[in-house]
């Protein structure tokens, strides 16, 4: 279906506060994370007791890329005011998307420096930063504030095998029970992680789990993976489908009722995704434009990455009253929108790009409209949140006219952009402010 919303004068969007903009991550995003663990200890045994230490963990791997985390700890007796971590990756391994640190490189030598909010560490305190990357190399030549911090790699244990595909039973309106056959491991299986729709919902020591608080008449997908006594996780099981009993939410009305959810509204206005439920809006709207993504360097990019997928919500802030876990695959507004759609499956969510403040990049982007459309599609369909979005909204203010900035694109630019987007996204949801 094709949806459109009325023209507006930009009052639905405004520049975000500068203190928020400084935290915007600029790198491109990577793909689906299929976690496994492999810790490399990088604090040498001979290192002085009062020197800071660092350790590296490769937390996830999905074939074409990986996710890793550095932990910096102040093991001394005096406060640490700033830190700089250096290491080398072999050729072909590199950082693509960092967070919680300023990361740069000179060839294969990589440098990470603290951000303003995580540079001061009291004695015994630690902080972490992470990144997505490509390649399969491990770091060497580690230095923390100029002091070598590298030790021998810890030998890797064999991760556990995949457990059997869960069997689903005892399905009610609000619950379903899963059971699965055991995984095997050379050191022994410690427990199992249960994921619902890609998000971990439980860790159990047995091989059964009953998932409560589900929505009636709703489809769910479950996978399970094992963790061994060395804290390594194995591959996922096959996916098991479950549909709860009862009626689903009302079907979408033929009339589209669309609203904008402003990304930065969770800060000073304290308007959370949860408030769509408590206000009664979730029962009335059919479409949400999640506003706004940025248009920069010819691409669609996330706006405030902390708000979008980084912020850890408390139980009071969450749609379902369940607090985020720090180690879950997705946080922020996008995870809350996922929860909203599970409770109100009639709602469609579109990622809106541009708006009053971020339309200045459209003119450059449409010079290569197919490439721009591909970048938008890759971002919207990123496997970490592909199930959250049903389409894209393009809010160019204004082609061949002046908004916050002035544009001198040729008259056919908007048509070329929409044609490229239609070719990339297909015949499903595509909207534009015109």
The secondary structure of residue 307, as a DSSP letter, is: I
The secondary structure of residue 265, as a DSSP letter, is: G
Nearest alpha-carbon partner for 71 in 21, 139, 15, 163? 139
- Residue whose structure tokens are 């929409």: 418
Cα–Cα distance list, 102 to 84, 115, 132, 300, 403 (Å): 10, 7, 14, 22, 33
Helix (H, G, I), strand (E, B), or coil: what is residue 71? strand
* Catalytic sites, residue numbers: 397
Nearest alpha-carbon partner for 105 in 92, 83, 128, 88? 88
**How far is 218 from 211, CA to CA, in rounded Å?**
13
The secondary structure of residue 216, as a DSSP letter, is: T
Could you list the beta-strand ranges (E) of 92-234. 94-99, 101-106, 109-114, 126-134, 140-144, 147-148, 167-169, 176-179, 189-196, 199-204, 208-211, 219-228
**DSSP-assigned letters across all residues of 413-434:** HHHHHHHHHHHHHTTS-EEEB-
**How far is 324 from 313, CA to CA, in rounded Å?**
5
């Amino acid at each position: 279906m094709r949806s459109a919303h009325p023209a507006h004068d930009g009052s639905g969007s405004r520049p975000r506060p500068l203190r928020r903009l400084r935290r915007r991550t600029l790198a491109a995003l990577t793909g689906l994370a299929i976690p496994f663990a492999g810790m490399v200890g990088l604090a040498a045994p001979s290192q002085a007791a009062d020197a800071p230490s660092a350790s590296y963990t490769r937390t996830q791997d999905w074939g074409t890329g990986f996710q890793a985390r550095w932990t910096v700890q102040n093991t001394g007796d005096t406060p640490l005011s700033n830190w700089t971590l250096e290491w080398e990756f072999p050729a072909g391994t590199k950082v693509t998307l960092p967070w919680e640190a300023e990361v740069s490189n000179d060839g294969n030598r990589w440098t990470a420096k603290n951000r303003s909010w995580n540079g001061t560490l009291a004695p015994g305190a630690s902080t972490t930063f992470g990144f997505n990357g490509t390649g399969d190399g491990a770091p060497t030549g580690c230095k923390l504030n100029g002091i070598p911090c590298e030790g021998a790699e810890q030998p890797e244990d064999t991760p556990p095998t995949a457990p059997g595909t869960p069997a689903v039973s005892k399905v009610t309106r609000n619950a379903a029970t899963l059971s699965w056959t055991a995984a095997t491991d050379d050191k022994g299986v410690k427990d199992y992680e249960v994921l619902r729709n890609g998000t971990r919902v439980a860790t159990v020591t047995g091989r059964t789990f009953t998932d409560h608080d589900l929505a009636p008449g709703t489809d769910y997908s479950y996978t399970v993976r094992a963790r061994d006594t060395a804290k390594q996780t194995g591959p996922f099981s096959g996916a098991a489908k479950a549909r709860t009993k009862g009626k689903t939410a009302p079907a979408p009305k033929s009339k589209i009722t669309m609203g904008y959810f402003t990304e930065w509204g969770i800060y000073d206005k304290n308007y959370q995704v949860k408030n769509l439920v408590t206000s009664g809006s979730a029962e009335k709207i059919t479409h949400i434009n999640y506003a706004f993504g940025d248009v920069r360097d010819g691409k669609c990019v996330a706006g405030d990455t902390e708000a979008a997928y980084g912020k850890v919500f408390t139980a009071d802030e969450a749609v379902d009253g369940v607090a985020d876990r720090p180690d879950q695959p997705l946080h922020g507004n996008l995870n809350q929108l996922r929860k909203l759609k599970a409770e109100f499956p009639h709602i469609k969510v579109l990622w809106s790009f541009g708006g009053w403040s971020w339309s200045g990049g459209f003119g450059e982007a449409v010079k290569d409209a197919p490439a721009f459309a591909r970048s938008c599609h890759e971002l919207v369909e990123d496997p970490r949140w592909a199930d959250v979005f049903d389409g894209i909204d393009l809010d160019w203010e204004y082609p061949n006219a002046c908004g916050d900035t002035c544009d001198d694109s040729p008259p056919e630019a908007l048509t070329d952009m929409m044609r490229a987007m239609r070719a990339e996204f297909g015949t499903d949801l595509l909207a534009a402010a015109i």
